[in-house]
Amino acid sequence: MLVVTDLHKSYATPRGPLPILDRVSLTLNQGEAAAIMGPSGSGKSTLLYVLGALEPPTSGSVSIDGTDPYALGERDQAAFRGARIGFVFQDHLLLPQLSAIDNVLAPTVVARDGGPFSDRARLLLTRVGLGDRMDHRPAELSGGERQRVAVARALIRQPALVLCDEPTGNLDRTAAEGVADVLADLATDGRTTVVVVTHSPSLAARFGRRYEVVDRTLIDLAGAPPDRM
C-alpha cells in the first residue's frame, strides 16, 4: 500500500528553490494500479523518484506498506528500496552480457536474502511471454521483449510497489501492447501496487486509477471527460 500525504518537492538550484510538486496526496491499496499522465516537464519522473525512495520530498510524507523510507538511515533506505520497490524505466537498462534469466536474477545477487529465485525468475519470464527466450542476451531480443525482461526483473524480489517511468515510450505500438498486457496483468495479482507514468492514453486506460500532473499537483481523472485522456 502506498500513502502519499501533502507532498511538496522543490529542487535546489543556484537561483533558489525550484518548486516542482505541490500538495500531492495519493493512496493506492495493495493490488491497485494507477497511471500518471501529464505534459513533459510537469514533474512525473520527479514524483516517481520521490515515491521510489530515490529523491527526498521537501515536505510531506511517503509510506510504503507502513514504512516511511525517508525516515530510514542511508543503508536501511537502500536495502528497503531494493527489497520493496521495483523500477521499470523507459530504457530497459539490462546488462548486455547477461542472459534474460540472469538479468532477472541480477537484483537477487546482492540481496543476500537467498531463496529459490531461479524458479521464480523462470515463472516470471514465462508469465511475461518469454518462456522460450530465457537464454537470450538483450541484443538477441526485440525492444518489447527487453522491456518485458525489465518488468520481470522489477518483480523478482516481490516488491510492494512497482514504479514504471514511460515503460512503452521507446516501443512501437505492437510491442507497447505486449508490455501493457504484462503491466495490466501484474496489477491484477492483488499483491503489488503499481504506478505507471505514461503518455499513452491506451496504456493509461488499462489501469484502474488515472491521474494527471497539472500545475504541480496530482488530479484524479476519475469522472473527467474522455477527451482529457
Binding site residues, ligand ADP, CB under 6 A: 11, 13, 18, 20, 38, 40-46
Q: Does 198 bind Mg ion (CB under 5 A)?
A: no
Considering the complex, state which of residue 44 and residue 148 has its C-beta at the smaller distance from ligand ADP.
Answer: 44
Is the Cβ–Cβ distance between 184 and 203 less than 8 Å?
Answer: no
- In the sheet with 33-37, reading across from the earlier edge strand, the strands are 85-88, 161-165, 193-197, 33-37, 209-214, 217-220
CB atoms within 10 A of CB 56: 13
Which CB atom, from 92 or from 120, has the smaller least distance to ligand ADP? 92
Beta-sheet strands, E only, within 140-223: 161-165, 193-197, 209-214, 217-220
Interface with Mg ion (CB under 5 A), residue from 45, 77, 192, 200: 45
Which partner from the list Mg ion, ligand ADP, none does 11 bind, CB cut-off 5 to 8 Å by kind?
A: ligand ADP
Which of the ranges 39-47, 117-125, 171-179, 200-208 carries the binding residues for Mg ion, by CB under 5 A?
A: 39-47
Residues 6+ apart with CB under 8 A from 127: 152, 182, 185
Q: How many residues bind Mg ion (CB under 5 A)?
A: 1
H-run or E-run covering 17: strand 16-28
The C-alpha cell that represents 225 in the structure block = 471527460
108 binds, among ligand ADP, Mg ion, none (CB under 5 to 8 A by kind): none
Q: Is the Cβ of residue 145 or residue 212 nearer to Mg ion in the bound state?
A: 212
Question: Closest approach of Cβ 212 to ligand ADP, in Å?
Answer: 11
103 binds, among Mg ion, ligand ADP, none (CB under 5 to 8 A by kind): none
* Closer of 34 and 141 to Mg ion (Cβ): 34
Q: In terms of CB distance, is 186 or 213 closer to Mg ion?
A: 213
Distance CA 220, CA 32 (A): 14
In the list ligand ADP, Mg ion, none, the entry touching 174 (Cβ below 5 to 8 angstroms by class) is: none
Q: Which does 92 bind (CB under 5 to 8 A by kind): Mg ion, ligand ADP, none?
A: none
Closest CA to 198 of 228, 226, 229, 168: 168
Q: Which three cell numbers stand for residue 116?
A: 529459490
